[in-house]
């Protein structure tokens, strides 16, 4: 076995270890998105239909009426069949593909930089320990699948420039990624167009005939998505998230600025030139787009949301990678003049990756920046190799100091993620639902009704942890569909009340909801709960904060 192969195996094994150790319990808690996808897979496994009664959905899963991309759910079916309906089985496909992504970035780096023997190994190592990739790999997140599919697709595209038969491999992988995560449906077409422009002479050198197979494959892959986009529910969900669809508050703000600014008193028509929907959308897009290139986002803050397992006060990348990325970008610009492969490929990747995230209303969201996965690690590896190729004084000493500092910072991150996250932000990951449902299960027969506070997507936790018969859930969801239609709402939690067996999901109002035959679960501050309640169980964070309370009013 060659030394390079041995090192690669060690890197992959280390990445596998980091992604599988205590997978079912770290991160602490289990999000509604994870439990929803897992239960959909369970329902398909048992009945051939999802929880809404749809047989083998192709383009998207209805879920919470947010229409999730389907690939992650389908990948869960075999792991749930083997290990049962639990957190480990739900997260295992993401972890496995996170490991595959390490190999994907290795082969891509090797194809992009064939003259550098060490760069592919360094890129693979960087991705194996990358904070945001590790965090995404340890949760059932659709975005993580693109970290494997996209780089491998690009690898086959580069090979296809020499042998057109590989273009079909690239089309297949990128086509599958369209079913992995919604952002890919924007990123992949835009990036593909950029490649057609950059390599138009090589691609079309022998005419269109050698490209007929990839073209037919593209049409087959995108047809279900096109139908779903035009006629399916995911189109409505997508429009809700886009910045083009202004919220009522934002639309009112634009109207007020146009009507009541000082300029409107001089010329209402000129005022509308400065304050209108188009200007608002462009401004929002620009702010969102630039936020994904800010240093705090990548190296110190990691965005606004911790639901997707980013750690408050920590970046998505290691701080020690910053100089490597800057130097790598500098050398890539210089190298573009001599490389046979157009290095602009990586810059188009970087520029286009932020567009899908910037098109949504809420910026600064790491899960929506998933198209960047693998890019920064690859550039940092190129930067490190470029630095090591230089000759300068104290090179060996500085290299040892840098490696030592990097190792220390990496170890501190591992401690923070594996040992400290349940203390620093347990509530963000729906902490405590497993304990709550497990407590309720043996006593639920004592009550006629179990009321769970609405707005928590509690039905998916009940279904997941109680392993509710999918036929029972499908019967309930059929009734929910009628209620949604009658109420003319878009989302399930906008209905005043909906039920799953004796479990009722609604807003808890006092004192009118007090009943001796009812068990209650609330995530409210216990100060707001009726004093006459009988507390049966309080689910607390490691710091002692009460995040779920289970109680009744029996005397």
pLDDT, tens only, 40-67: 999 999 999 999 999 999 999 999 888 9
Tokens coding 479: 């009734």
Peptide bond into 483 cis (omega under 30): no
| Helices and strands (DSSP H and E) totals, the chain | 25, 6
Angle, CA 347 vertex, CA 344 and CA 352 arms, to 5°: 125
Contacts of residues 198-206 at CB distance under 8 Å and 24 or more positions apart, as own/partner, are 198/342, 198/344, 198/345, 198/348, 199/161, 199/342, 202/161, 203/161, 206/164
User: Cα(129)–Cα(19) distance, rounded to whole angstroms?
Assistant: 10
Three-state secondary structure string covering 127-181? HHHCHHHHHHHCCCCHHHHHHHHHHHHHHHHHHHCCCCCHHHHHHHHHHHHCCCC
Q: At what angle do helices 375-388 and 322-335 cross, to 10 degrees?
A: 80
Q: Which segment of 16-30, 109-123, 210-224 scores lowest on mean pLDDT?
A: 210-224
Q: Containing H/E element for 451?
A: strand 449-453
Confidence of residue 428 (pLDDT cuts 50, 70, 90): low
Q: What is the pTM of this model?
A: 0.94
- Cα gap 175→367, rounded to integer Å: 20
Instruction: Indicate if the pLDDT at residue 475 is higher than 90.
Output: yes
Cα 406–143–321 angle (5° rounding)? 15
Check: CB of residue 70 under 8 Å from CB of residue 57.
yes
Radius of gyration over alpha carbons of the chain, in Å? Answer: 26
What pLDDT is recorded for position 233? 66
User: Mean pLDDT across the stretch 388-393?
Assistant: 89
- Please, which residues have CB within 8 angstroms of residue 395's CB and are 6 or more apart in sequence? none
Collapsed DSSP state (helix, strand, coil) of residue 506? strand
Arithmetic mean of pLDDT over the chain: 90
- Return the pLDDT at 327: 96
Per-residue pLDDT for 340 more than 70? no
Quick check: 518 and 534 in contact, CB under 8 A? no
| 379: its two tokens | 């550039």
- How many CA atoms does the CB half-sphere of 207 hold within 13 Å? 1
Q: What are the tens digits of pLDDT across the range 277-330?
A: 888 888 899 999 999 999 999 998 877 666 665 677 788 999 999 999 999 999
pLDDT at 338: 46
Closest CA to 302 of 126, 141, 131, 431: 131
Quick: pLDDT tens for 71-123.
999 999 999 999 999 999 999 999 999 999 999 999 999 999 988 889 999 99
Q: How many CA atoms lie within 13 A of 512 on its CB side?
A: 4
Question: 513-551 pLDDT, tens per residue?
Answer: 999 999 999 987 667 899 999 999 999 888 888 889 999
* pLDDT more than 70, % of the chain: 95
3-class DSSP assignment, residue 511: coil
Size of the chain, expressed as the number of residues it contains: 555
CB 369 within 8 A of CB 357: yes
Phi and psi angles of residue 408, each rounded to the nearest 5 degrees, phi first: -65, -45
Q: How confident is the model over 221-234, as a mean pLDDT? A: 80
Cα gap 275→80, rounded to integer Å: 53
How many angstroms separate the CA atoms of 41 and 46, rounded?
A: 9
- Taking 60 as the threshold, does the pLDDT of residue 200 lie above it? yes
449: helix, strand or coil: strand
Determine which helix (DSSP H) or strand (DSSP E) holds 217, and give its type and residue range. Answer: helix 212-231
pLDDT of residue 234: 63
């Amino acid at each position: 076995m060659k030394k390079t192969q041995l090192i690669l195996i060690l890197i992959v094994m280390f990445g596998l270890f980091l992604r599988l150790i205590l997978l079912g319990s770290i991160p602490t808690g289990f999000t509604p998105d994870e439990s929803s996808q897992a239960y959909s897979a369970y329902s398909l496994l048992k009945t051939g239909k999802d929880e809404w009664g749809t047989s083998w959905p192709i383009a998207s899963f209805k879920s919470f009426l947010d229409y999730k991309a389907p690939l992650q759910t389908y990948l869960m079916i075999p792991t749930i069949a083997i290990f049962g309906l639990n957190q480990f089985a739900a997260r295992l496909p993401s972890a496995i593909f996170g490991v595959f992504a390490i190999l994907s970035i290795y082969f891509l780096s090797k194809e992009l930089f064939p003259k550098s023997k060490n760069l592919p190994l360094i890129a693979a190592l960087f991705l194996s320990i990358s904070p945001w990739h590790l965090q995404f790999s340890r949760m059932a997140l659709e975005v993580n699948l693109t970290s494997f599919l996209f780089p491998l697709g690009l690898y086959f595209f580069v090979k296809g420039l020499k042998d057109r038969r590989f273009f079909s491999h690239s089309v297949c992988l990128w086509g599958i990624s369209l079913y992995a995560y919604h952002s890919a449906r924007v990123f992949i077409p835009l990036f593909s167009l950029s490649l057609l422009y950059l390599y138009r002479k090589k691609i079309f050198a022998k005419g269109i005939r050698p490209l007929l197979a990839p073209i037919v494959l593209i049409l087959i892959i995108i047809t279900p998505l096109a139908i779903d986009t035009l006629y399916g529910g995911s189109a409505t969900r997508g429009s809700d998230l886009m910045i083009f669809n202004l919220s009522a508050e934002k639309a009112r703000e634009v109207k007020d600025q146009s009507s009541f600014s000082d300029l409107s008193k001089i010329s209402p028509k000129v005022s509308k030139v400065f304050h209108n929907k188009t200007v608002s959308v462009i401004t929002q897009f620009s702010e969102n787009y630039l936020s994904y290139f800010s240093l705090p986002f990548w190296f110190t803050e990691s965005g606004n949301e911790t639901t997707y397992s980013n750690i408050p006060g920590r970046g998505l990348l290691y701080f020690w990678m910053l100089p490597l990325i800057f130097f790598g970008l500098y050398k890539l610009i210089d190298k573009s003049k001599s490389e046979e492969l157009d290095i602009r490929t990586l810059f188009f990747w970087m520029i286009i990756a932020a567009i899908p995230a910037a098109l949504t209303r809420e910026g600064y969201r790491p899960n929506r920046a998933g198209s960047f996965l693998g890019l920064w690690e690859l550039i940092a590896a190129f930067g490190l190799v470029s630095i090591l190729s230089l000759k300068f004084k104290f090179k060996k000493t500085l290299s040892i100091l840098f490696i030592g500092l990097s190792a220390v910072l990496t170890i501190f991150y591992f401690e923070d993620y594996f040992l400290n996250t349940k203390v620093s932000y347990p509530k963000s990951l729906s902490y405590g639902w497993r304990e709550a449902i497990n407590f309720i299960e043996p006593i639920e027969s004592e009550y006629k009704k179990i009321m769970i506070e609405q707005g928590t997507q509690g039905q998916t936790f009940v279904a997941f942890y109680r392993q509710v018969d999918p036929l029972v859930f499908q019967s309930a969801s059929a009734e929910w569909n009628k209620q949604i239609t009658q109420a003319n709402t878009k989302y399930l939690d906008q209905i005043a009340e909906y039920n799953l067996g004796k479990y009722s999901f609604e807003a808890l109002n006092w004192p009118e909801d007090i009943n001796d035959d009812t068990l209650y679960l609330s995530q409210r501050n216990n100060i707001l709960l009726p004093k006459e309640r009988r507390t049966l169980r309080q689910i607390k964070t490691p710091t002692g904060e009460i995040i779920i309370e289970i109680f009744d009013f029996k005397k």
